[in-house]
Chain A
Amino acid sequence: MRHLKPINQKAGRVVDFVANQKHDVVALQQPPFRPHLPLGCTSLFSPGWEADQAGGTAGLCTPVERDIFDCHISCFWPAQVPDMLNHSPDWTGKCAAAQKDWRKIDLVFP
């Protein structure tokens, strides 16, 4: 921090905090290993495609233009997937093998 001079004790703590936030740029497989979650292949909640994490559209992780917007398990899925953790746990219950049974997956009406 070259342009701001911390004056009181709290400012000193802010400077320390900021310094600790900075990490080196490292390759993904270079230790320490951190979870490697490439874009679009996450089993976590998708950050969403209508708004980014800050509520705007500047930082969307998936472009709105994309037809296939996300992955469901290991398949690209051409629409939003229901929330299988909370509301539709059995959504794919009848779909033992996606290649064969995908027609059994129905629409979900929340």
Chain B
Amino acid sequence: MITLAPREFHLFQAAGRDFLYLVPSAAIFALDDITSAVLAAVTETKRTEAAVVDALAERFDGATVHEAVADLLAVRAIGYEHEPESRTPRVLPLMPASLSTGRSGVIPLTTMVMNVTNQCNLACTYCYEYGEDKIVDTEHGKKPKFMSEQTARESVEFLLRESGTVAHLTFFGGETLLNFPVLQSTVAYGRRRAAELGKSIDFSLTTNATLLRPEIIEFLVENDVGVTISIDGPREMQDRFRVFHNGAGSYDVVAPKIKELLKRHRSKPIAARVTLTSGTLDITRIYRHLTEEIGFGEVGFAPVTTSPGQGYAIGERGFDTMLAQFRALAQEWLECSLANRHHGFSNVTESLEEIHKGVSKAYPCGAGLGLLGVSTDGDVALCHRFAGSDAHKLGTVRDGVDRDAQVAFLERNHIADKTDCSRCWARPLCSGGCYHEAHVRYGTTTHPNLHYCEWIRGWTDTCLRLYGELSERNPAFLARFDREEAKAEAVV
């Protein structure tokens, strides 16, 4: 007796109908009444096709049920029970032929994050770089505190050597603007070299905004440098953790400077990047303040990266609160998008782009693939958060990427080896979560971030519903996610 059984998927409702998010393909299909009924029957209990026809005989004729079964079988929403489910293939991304049998080519470097300094003029208590969870000793370690102009140039050469036709250079720190001279000369050098090599390059930076002097703003505007500002919200939230070394809050210093930047810099959206902690989970209020009172066009939120013992760590209940608030703001985003108005909640936009493309990740992010971090001495690391860590070094800008180390890393961190994730429907998008978060929490990049699984599934479900609503009620809106260029973070 050949019985039908459900395969892996996540069923969700939007705009009054059922949708299917298939795992691991990440394809989304809208169901009609009959496929919904067939799927429900097979999910309720495994049964033969004839039994499905019988069960639905009152509502649908047999021939149509057979058609629906065939459709669901074809997209692998259901399968035959006796046939084992196909396992996720353990395919490493394209590597030089010499390192991986039968494959050739290398994933080009898309984004290089360059730590121009590991020093900071703020002393945010939760900082992963200087707080209790730091992995590199930036004060007494052997790394230079500031990147030299020579190393910066070598980094640019490295980026242009390893990239395809498009290269993104992101300046990072420490506080990036503490090394403004090198940043300035690197932009000029990068532009010139990219033009000589016929490649396109663009620049962005992340800053805490304390050092945004008028001439720096002028430079960023003239050179079309994208800016992300780390800021936590209204004064009392910002000043809770984002303090100077003497303990004084930074809100009054940064707010006027950010407003000035936003007034002058119109060519690229300036994004706010908010770190959420157990004490600052009032997301809607933070969003209102940053968009309406400060004037940001985009705001992105990320929970603080921390070991579990810290007082500011977001606990299980905190994640529930955060999810409820994210959902409320996402609803607002949906209403704007249905009316073709802009809404700056960038977490939604990023998730929806991945959902739209149907990204199914073997790795949680592009770190070690299309994205690499460079430390002040030119060591190449997995990403900026690991820059300077010898244990996560993947070469140097002078000698290039250490392909053996890169392959070894990719071998160790593939989703197929994360047993905890093997039955989770959210794994095409999550793939175990941030390496750095895992390293801080569990001591290794290979460990899935099990402390936020519920949150990830809740948030992914919310985004899928938004996507379903839009596909029914304003499908033209989704076309804006069709842009060609792949993000470095998104590994298909």
CA distance A13 to B27 in the complex (A): 8
- Within 8 Å by CB of A8, from B28, B83, B84, lies B28
B67 in contact with A11 (CB, 8 Å): no
A10 to chain B: closest residue by CB: B358
Interface residues of B in 460-480 (CB under 8 A from A): 467-468, 471
Instruction: List A contacts of B471 (CB < 8 A).
Output: 7
Output the residue of A11, A56, A58 with the most chain B CB within 10 A. A11
Instruction: List B contacts of A6 (CB < 8 A).
Output: 27-29
Instruction: List A contacts of B253 (CB < 8 A).
Output: none
> Could you tell me the distance in whole angstroms from the C-beta of B90 to the nearest C-beta in chain A?
20
Instruction: List A contacts of B356 (CB < 8 A).
Output: 8-9
- Within 8 Å by CB of B28, from A3, A11, A54, A55, lies A11
A58 in contact with B2 (CB, 8 Å): yes
How many contacting A-B pairs (Cβ < 8 A)? Answer: 81
Binding site for A on B (CB under 8 A): 2, 19-20, 22, 25-32, 34-35, 67-68, 71-72, 74-75, 80, 82-84, 355-360, 467-468, 471, 482
Instruction: List A contacts of B2 (CB < 8 A).
Output: 58
Instruction: List B contacts of A3 (CB < 8 A).
Output: 31-32, 34-35, 67-68, 71-72
- A25 on the B face (CB < 8 A): no
B26 in contact with A10 (CB, 8 Å): yes
> Could you tell me the distance in whole angstroms from the C-beta of B91 to the nearest C-beta in chain A?
17
CA distance A7 to B20 in the complex (A): 10
Sample (11) of A-B pairs whose CB atoms are under 8 Å apart: A1-B74, A1-B75, A4-B31, A8-B358, A9-B356, A11-B27, A14-B25, A14-B75, A18-B75, A56-B83, A58-B82
CA distance A4 to B36 in the complex (A): 10
Instruction: List B contacts of A5 (CB < 8 A).
Output: 29-30, 32
Instruction: List B contacts of A10 (CB < 8 A).
Output: 25-28, 357-360
> Could you tell me the distance in whole angstroms from the C-beta of B60 to the nearest C-beta in chain A?
10
Given A4-B71, A4-B72, A4-B75, A11 and B29 contact (CB-CB distance below 8 Å): yes
B82 in contact with A13 (CB, 8 Å): no
Total interface residues in chain A, CB < 8 Å: 20
When A and B form their complex, which 4 residue pairs have the shortest distance between CB atoms, in order from nearest? A10-B358, A56-B82, A11-B27, A5-B30
> Could you tell me the distance in whole angstroms from the C-beta of A12 to the nearest C-beta in chain B?
8
- A2 on the B face (CB < 8 A): yes
Output the residue of A2, A3, A55 with the most chain B CB within 10 A. A3
Instruction: List A contacts of B482 (CB < 8 A).
Output: 9
Instruction: List B contacts of A54 (CB < 8 A).
Output: 80, 82-84
CA distance A2 to B30 in the complex (A): 11
Instruction: List B contacts of A14 (CB < 8 A).
Output: 22, 25, 27, 75
A54 to chain B: closest residue by CB: B83
Instruction: List A contacts of B360 (CB < 8 A).
Output: 10
CA distance A47 to B347 in the complex (A): 51
Besides A3-B71, A9-B357, A10-B358, 15 other A-B contacts (C-beta < 8 A) = A2-B67, A2-B71, A3-B67, A4-B29, A5-B30, A7-B28, A7-B29, A7-B30, A7-B467, A9-B482, A10-B26, A10-B27, A10-B359, A56-B83, A58-B2
Bitwise interface map of A from 29 to 61 toward B, beta carbon under 8 Å scored 1, else 0: 000000000000000000000000011101000
- Within 8 Å by CB of B35, from A4, A15, A55, lies A4
> Could you tell me the distance in whole angstroms from the C-beta of B330 to the nearest C-beta in chain A?
18
Instruction: List B contacts of A11 (CB < 8 A).
Output: 27-29, 75, 358
Output the residue of A2, A10, A55 with the most chain B CB within 10 A. A10
